[in-house]
Structure 1
Amino acid sequence: MEKNKQDSWIDINGSNENFLGRKTVDKSTFKYGTTIPARYHKVFQSNISDKLALVKSINVKLFINQKEFPALVSLRKSEVKAGITMQLRYSNKALLELLKEKLEVSYDYIVQYEKENDKKPSTIPAEYQEYIDFYKGDKIDTFILELIPKSKSKLEDEELEDEVILEDDLDNEFATINNINAEVTYIYDYITSKGFYYEKDLIANFYLSLITKPFVILSGISGTGKSKIVELFAEAVGANTNNERFKLIPVRPDWSDATDLLGYRNIENKFVPGIIIDAAYEAMQHLDKPYFLCLDEMNLARVEYYFSDILSSMETRKINDDEIITQKLLSRAQFGKDERAYDKYGDVYIPQNLYIIGTVNMDETTFPFSKKVLDRANTIEFNTVDLKYNFEQVYLDELSPKKYHNDFLKSQYLKISECKDEKEIATKVIDKLILINKILEKYQQHFAYRVRDEIVFYVIYAVKNQLFSFDQAMDYSIVQKILPKISGSGGEVLDILVELFNVLNNTKYKNDGYIEDEQIRAMEKESETSKYKLSSQKIMYMIRRFLRDGFTTFWQ
């Protein structure tokens, strides 16, 4: 084989018959992959199942310490060199981070050189050089990579650490899911076995809210178990504090911007990642496992001040190669000249397996929510308190948590056009929402497409998985997506509430500026047997408060 003096491959004879070649690490290693010299084309092609051609890529698998990563082999026209080049390309975030971590001498040199010269080095000096050995895998279309850092002893230590991680991963076999209703029942039983009691419908509602959109608000008086249900639900599906897939974050009253969540540059101009960035980065490394972030006492600070950037990013969700992604959370400018931080966190987005739940109390020490926030979440109330305790209902033996694949919680729909197979349910939901919105529109309180779509998704998930009937699912959706945004002291607020009650219950009660006690009692009796019981009772609470205080709101 004749070596091109400019390429980064070293021609040596490996002792292993599967040895293909050794590459010196360069700037492309940590971003794109590598160009395979012409003299190696034949041996690489012999390990690929299909013949390479221009504008055609073949999927292959790379293995490092038995960890599997996706990659592509392709032929491309070279703009720098004459002729055709063979390229091994990869963009997997976990693989790139592993390479940066294991081959850190070369990587640090590249980062420092670019910082000082505003360009990446074309070559790496011998004292910083590290290598990758390529081998054929046991199966076609697989390659084994052996990383050779500057310190051999360091490599051996890190390989032992990787084996421990690998054993832990093998232990995390996911539960088989045949029936969503049965799995929600198991989660309910697991939580009950821990000595905590919540209504089963509440667990089902929480599950449906998460799968509809991975941002949920839990509201209620202090001590009702809002943050505990998040912890126990996460624990039941395999996410806990020990494996760092559940984190409880106390919100501070002095949060006035997004720096605590997204990050900032310190006095040394180094980027310090925030809470959301850290959580999203970790979740991106394991897209098959759900991660939970609970923002406790979320409205101790103004939510719009510190959370608006995250809310905006959530609205950019789209499907890319069967993965739900959002726009990047950070801009290039936020990293300054910290190239290493940019390489690590620059592509971080809100992954499909990160679920953010905020708990809130509504009292004189907290801030109200804007409609922008309420528009983007299901708001679940925890205000009903039953102090009785059934000791017989607690299991003597605690149940074990299951390990669920993220598909159990992953949204199936992002756009209403994707609901075509369930159009009968969707149309029925939309017809009901049109009646409600006609009332709200008269008073400029109507909602738009986002609320419509998310209610449609919620009801489809509920009915299709037999968790709620259609009317139950609509009831939860109205009380969680529509009623929280109604508040005020004007007479039109009372008009809205009475008209909503009528359209939900097919009644004809009137509001003449004041409602007599007899009518209130009749409406309350009607709400007890209503097919929209939760919504009707909440409307009655809001009406009573208006008549008592001259002002009303959803919040208690």
Structure 2
Amino acid sequence: MDNNIVNKRKKRPDSWVDMNSDDKSFLGRKRVDYSTFDKGTTIPERYHKVFLDNLSEEVTKGKQVKIKLFFKDKEYNAVIRWPNSKDRKGVTIQLLYSNKALKELLQNKLSVSYDYIMNYLKDTGKKPVNIPDEYSEYIDFFKGDKPNNFIINLINKDNITIEDEEPEDDLYEDLESEDEFAAITNINSEIDFIHNYISSKGFYYSKDLITNLYLSLKTKPFAILSGISGTGKSKVIELFSEAVGANRGNGRFRLISVRPDWSDATDLLGYRNIENKFVPGIIIDIANEAMKKPDKPYFLCLDEMNLARVEYYFSDILSVMETRKISDEGIITQKLINRAQFGRDEAAYGWYGDVYIPQNLYIVGTVNMDETTFPFSKKVLDRANTIEFNKVNLTYNFEETEVQELSTKKFHNDFLKSEYLNLSQCKHEKNIALKVIDKLIEINNILEKYQQHFAYRVRDEIVFYVIYAVRDDLFSFEKAMDFSIVQKILPKIGGSGGEVLDILIKLFNNLNDSDYESEGYLDDIQIKAMEKQCENSKYKLSSEKIIFMIRRFQRDGFTTFWQ
């Protein structure tokens, strides 16, 4: 292929094989290594021209172009990029992918190399620098029928005849470009930036909502976004992720559509296939990636989370979340998968056996509540902040829609990382903590009479939320408590008994210093008076939600938090 390769000598040994070919669409042959099975490959300089000439646009520093890889007419998404790193000299071009199906294909079709690499990693704790000839397998790259399309051919040991191979070079570090993180001096200003970034994309959410999302994720890396269809629940988390530097292109944001037939955790954690090889699940895959880059936040959005019963497929992950503790690696959990689940697949155990939920992985579920979905158990609601998206403003101002788009920033994970796991760690903020606890005791005394009270987990997480909000001047104490009550306490209240109405009225009285009473019924005059009182309430969100639940009880004979 003399007419294809730029005539440059190799500056150092690498894993690409220079060879002649009569096929004018042939681009190059890559010997697979650790990085090939994990995320992609760095393209040597002498191959830059033939790959870049097949793109529809120029790749400049910090930019990437989406491409498609085809194997036997099956299509996989990938990107070609030039990473933006101030420490990297010269031009670095990388071909990267995060597609789970493609990775599984490579592992299965090129299993000789894959098994050697995994066994070497398990035995030595290191990635192999050189793969012996008897274990070497290859990927051939060809131009597709149009720009941005590439065809790959996988060459396993059964049909390989290669001579004059170059020594293997460990390219994995080339894929780990270190971006310069934004300097954070004021949390409020950074939330302003995130809000403005989202608005610049043509989507409007209130700043309070963005602040609340930030505080909820910082309190605990699991949140639920609920509301009617079309309010932008999955979009807000995608744009929030983009604003802090995590997107689909770099693999740090992933949106997964929950399937109605999910009845266990295999799609999330993994399973052994018919060949007894372990196939990693969605969370194992992204958690494994996040563990390698602890300074960078990763986001997983489970869309339509309650199309299946959440307790069936997510309970194992929830249980692991509750094992969070502080270690030398930061905040970690126990391992997601036990040894027995790998069977005899030693290679997969060497790769995924130690995977846990790292402190830089944030999981957000979106839910709609209608006849096609399942309700949540208290176990799930106890472990998340439930953020509502039900208020819709259909007005549109064409004069204000042309907003200059903002570039993303690269945020260090410290911006979102939890600072507290136990109440004892909040001693230096004890004045705020004790004020929160006093209010929660009042509320719990009401709930306990009806066996609806909460326990230490809810108390602690509300304390953490309010401390972050007040300390960084994001919300006032009452506003932070208001969000916490509506997100951590009210979602678990519901039913058809008369005690439910009593709870709601007493909670309203506690939050508004009022003295409404009922004997199983409130007339419309009383409810309208409560609504009038809401307008100036310190706990407006909670009071409005309570009135909504009361009206529903009056109308239907039962009530629930969900709309």
Would the TM-score normalized by the shorter structure come out above 0.5?
Answer: yes
Residues 105 and 441 of structure 1, relative CA distance in 2, 3 Å threshold: closer
Counterpart mapping for 1:333-372 below 5 A? 333-372=340-379
Choose the corresponding residue for 2:299, options 292, 296, 301. 292
Choose the corresponding residue for 1:165, options 170, 175, 192. 175
Residues 103 and 503 of structure 1, relative CA distance in 2, 3 Å threshold: same
Deviation at 1:154, TM superposition (A): 5.3
Q: Confirm or deny: 8 A CA contact 2:119 2:350 kept in the other structure.
A: no
Q: Confirm or deny: 8 A CA contact 2:333 2:356 kept in the other structure.
A: yes
CA deviation profile, 1:450-501 (whole Å, cap 9, x unmatched): 0000000000000111110000000000000000000000000000000000
Amino acid at match of 1:515: L
Counterpart mapping for 1:190-205 below 5 A? 190-205=197-212
Secondary structure at the counterpart of residue 186 of structure 1: helix
CA deviation profile, 1:200-226 (whole Å, cap 9, x unmatched): 100000000000000000000000000
Counterpart mapping for 1:28-39 below 5 A? none
Q: Does 1:520 align with 2:527?
A: yes
Residues 530 and 398 of structure 1, relative CA distance in 2, 3 Å threshold: same
Deviation at 1:389, TM superposition (A): 2.0
Aligned to 1:189: 196
Aligned to 2:422: 415
Aligned to 2:326: 319
Residues 398 and 127 of structure 1, relative CA distance in 2, 3 Å threshold: closer
Amino acid at match of 1:409: L
Residues 162 and 516 of structure 1, relative CA distance in 2, 3 Å threshold: closer
Counterpart mapping for 1:375-394 below 5 A? 375-394=382-401
Distance in structure 2 (CA, Å) of the matches to 1:129 and 1:233: 44
Distance in structure 1 (CA, Å) of the matches to 2:288 and 2:166: 25
Counterpart mapping for 1:401-440 below 5 A? 401-440=408-447
How large is the Cα RMSD of the aligned pairs? 2.5
Secondary structure at the counterpart of residue 223 of structure 2: strand
Aligned to 1:263: 270
Deviation at 1:394, TM superposition (A): 3.9
Residues 464 and 127 of structure 1, relative CA distance in 2, 3 Å threshold: same
Aligned to 1:226: 233
Residues 512 and 425 of structure 1, relative CA distance in 2, 3 Å threshold: same
Counterpart mapping for 1:504-519 below 5 A? 504-519=511-526
Q: Confirm or deny: 8 A CA contact 1:416 1:453 kept in the other structure.
A: yes
Secondary structure at the counterpart of residue 294 of structure 2: coil
Choose the corresponding residue for 1:532, options 521, 530, 539. 539
Choose the corresponding residue for 2:458, options 438, 451, 455. 451
CA deviation profile, 1:50-101 (whole Å, cap 9, x unmatched): xxxxxxxxxxxxxxxx99xxxxxxxxxxxxxxxxxxxxxxxxxxxxxxxxx9
Q: Confirm or deny: 8 A CA contact 2:112 2:135 kept in the other structure.
A: no
Give TM-score scaled by structure 2 length. Answer: 0.72
Give TM-score scaled by structure 1 length. Answer: 0.73
Q: Confirm or deny: 8 A CA contact 1:527 1:537 kept in the other structure.
A: yes
Amino acid at match of 1:415: N
CA deviation profile, 1:300-344 (whole Å, cap 9, x unmatched): 000000000000000000000260000100010000000000010
Distance in structure 1 (CA, Å) of the matches to 2:190 and 2:121: 48
Deviation at 1:509, TM superposition (A): 0.5
Aligned to 2:283: 276
Distance in structure 2 (CA, Å) of the matches to 1:210 and 1:109: 37
Distance in structure 2 (CA, Å) of the matches to 1:347 and 1:221: 39
CA deviation profile, 1:9-43 (whole Å, cap 9, x unmatched): xxxxxxxxxxxxxxxxxxxxxxxxxxxxxxxxxxx
Q: Does 1:178 align with 2:178?
A: no
Residues 288 and 152 of structure 1, relative CA distance in 2, 3 Å threshold: farther
Deviation at 1:111, TM superposition (A): 9.1
Residues 546 and 204 of structure 1, relative CA distance in 2, 3 Å threshold: same
Amino acid at match of 2:362: Y
Choose the corresponding residue for 1:463, options 458, 470, 476. 470
Amino acid at match of 1:363: D
Amino acid at match of 1:180: I
Secondary structure at the counterpart of residue 249 of structure 1: strand
Secondary structure at the counterpart of residue 217 of structure 1: strand
Secondary structure at the counterpart of residue 484 of structure 1: helix
Q: Does 1:216 align with 2:223?
A: yes
Identity of aligned residues (%): 72
